[in-house]
Amino acid sequence: MEEETKPGRRDFLKAAGLAGIGAAAAIPVTLIGEDASAAESADEQVKARYRESDHVKRFYFLNRL
């Protein structure tokens, strides 16, 4: 009579890792690599985005090395 071998923890982790890789490979490239600049108008692309306001200056002051 042969002994039944039950799958071990390592076998489970191997299978779970392979399943995760397969799921990541199945994601369409269009969802990952969509160009964000295409969603912006010409005015939005030119506008200033970064301002060194008081709260930013305080953050820099409190977190300097």
pLDDT (tens digit per residue) in 14-65: 888 777 777 777 666 555 555 555 677 778 778 777 888 999 899 999 998 6
Coil, strand or helix: which one is 22? Answer: helix
Stated pTM of the model: 0.30
Number of domain units in the chain: 1
Residue 4 falls inside a structural domain: no
Is position 42 within any domain? yes
Total number of residues shown for the chain: 65
Distance, C-alpha 15 to centroid of its chain: 23
Residue with tokens 């030119």: 46
Assess if residue 54 is contained within a domain.
yes
User: What residue numbers bound the domain in which 14 lies?
Assistant: 9-62
Q: Which residues contact 45 (CB under 8 A, 6 or more apart)?
A: 37
